[in-house]
Amino acid sequence: IVRGFSSSAVRNVVIKNVTIIGGGQMGAGIAQVAASTGHSVTLVDTSDDILKKSIKLIEGSLKRVAKKKFSDKPEAGEEFIKKIVQKVSTSTDAESAVQGSDLVVEAIVENLKIKQDLFSRLDKLAPSHTIFASNTSSLSICDIASSTNRQDRFGGLHFFNPVAMMKLVEVIGTPATSQDTLDSLLDFSKVLGKTPVSCKDTSGFIVNRLLVPCMMEAIRLYERGVCTCCFYSSFKHPSSFSPIPLTLLIFCFSNLSGDASKEDIDIGMKLGAGYPMGPFELADYVGLDIVKAVIEAFKTKDPKNPLFDSSDLLNKLVAEGKLGIKTGEGFYKHK
């Protein structure tokens, strides 16, 4: 075992060179923590313009770190940022980028076919020791890995948003993942300064399996309408129609915005359940397209589970391009 400063060393693979495919919020964050812990990072996306934005994201995040760490020495802060950013090179050519890589972490769009196509291409060019990992939130690692001939060197490495702040990494193994690969991924996560937890390849792993149904239930609570016995609900569910007094009807129509406002649901979960963010704030932060993709992936695996039902409101917002903070509007408007 070779163990050295700033590289994750494992039984057969010393992870020094990391290629990250996808320079969005997650890929940029993973690149930042990998570079901050001394790894050489190549960040890949589909265009140079996107990659410029990724580097800006990394610099912005590092500026916040530097401001705290070097509050009385701004020049040392600048140097700190420069050194880390220098460890990140960018490329639009994934095939070339993986050729010197010990680990490939994929953080592209949440779409099985696109992820499979990518890994199938990279599998032919990456060195045989290279470990492949997906940061997918909801897709099966087994399904993604099936597009390659290195299923023993394939696992899930699921980071949390914002990557620089969140301490957890879920390390996911499929029945084909070798113990050496799992150990490599666990060690790599620790070298990044994270706390890894191991999990089998099940829908949503640990955190999203619990968190996303909670977000969807909050959305349903907000969009549902007033009460299950009311006139409005009878329209939605004709089989449950029952005559109701006029006063109740007027009350019901005056409250069609939902069982509770999204603001109150957020406050409720923050002050009542100790969540750092309410479910609507979190959905806007994560991205409504991601939340939609996750719940749809769960539904595909377990169609009868009502926890995984879709939401008309969520679908409408996504269709309108209101994806949350990244587009300036989701459930809330953002500056």
Per DSSP, which regions of the chain are E strands? 8-9, 14-15, 17-21, 40-44, 88-91, 103-106, 131-134, 154-159, 168-173, 195-200
158 is known as an active-site residue? yes
Catalytic residue, from 137, 138, 140, 147: name it: 137
Question: What contacts 109, CB < 8 A, 6 or more positions away?
Answer: 22
7, 25, 130, 174: which one binds ligand NAI (CB under 6 A): 25
Given a contact cutoff of 8 angstroms between Cβ atoms, the answer to whether 141 and 155 are in contact is yes
- Is there a contact between 197 and 166 (Cβ–Cβ < 8 Å)? no
Q: Is residue 21 at the binding interface for ligand NAI, with CB under 6 A as the rule?
A: yes
Among residue numbers 247 through 306, which ones bind ligand NAI (CB under 6 A)? 286-287, 290
* Token digits of residue 304: 């009868």
Which stretch of DSSP H or E encloses residue 42?
Answer: strand 40-44
- State yes or no: is 208 an active-site residue: yes
Instruction: Tell which one of 18, 19, 45, 330 touches ligand NAI (CB under 6 A).
Output: 45
Which has the closest alpha carbon to 316: 331, 296, 333?
A: 331
Give 230 or 286: the residue with its C-beta nearer to ligand NAI. 286
C-alpha of 138 from chain center: 9
Give me the catalytic one of 170, 203, 233, 281.
170
Query: C-beta of 31: minimal distance to ligand NAI in Å?
Result: 11
Asked if 155 touches ligand NAI (CB under 6 A), the answer is: no
**DSSP type of residue 324:** B
Q: Which is nearer to ligand NAI, 21 or 98 (CB)?
A: 21
Q: Which parts of 149-220 are beta strand (E)?
A: 154-159, 168-173, 195-200
Interface with ligand NAI includes 323 (CB under 6 A)? no
Looking at beta carbons, which residue is closest to ligand NAI?
Answer: 24
Region from 102-110, 145-153, 174-182, 185-193 binding ligand NAI, contact rule CB under 6 A? 102-110
**Contacts with ligand NAI: how many residues (CB under 6 A)?**
26
Which positions from 65 through 84 interact with ligand NAI, judged by CB under 6 A? none
DSSP class of residue 283 equals H
Nearest to 207 by CA among 137, 106, 283: 137
For 57-85, b where at least 16 C-beta lie within 10 A, e where not — what string? bbbebbeebbeeebeeeeeebeebbeebe
15, 22, 295, 317: which one binds ligand NAI (CB under 6 A): 22
Clarify whether 39 is annotated catalytic: no
Site string for ligand NAI, 120-149 (x = CB under 6 A): ---------------xxx------------
Check residue 23 for interaction with ligand NAI (CB under 6 A): yes
Q: Which residues are catalytic?
A: 137, 158, 170, 208
Binding site for ligand NAI (CB under 6 A): 21-27, 44-46, 50, 94, 107-110, 114, 118, 135-137, 159, 161, 286-287, 290
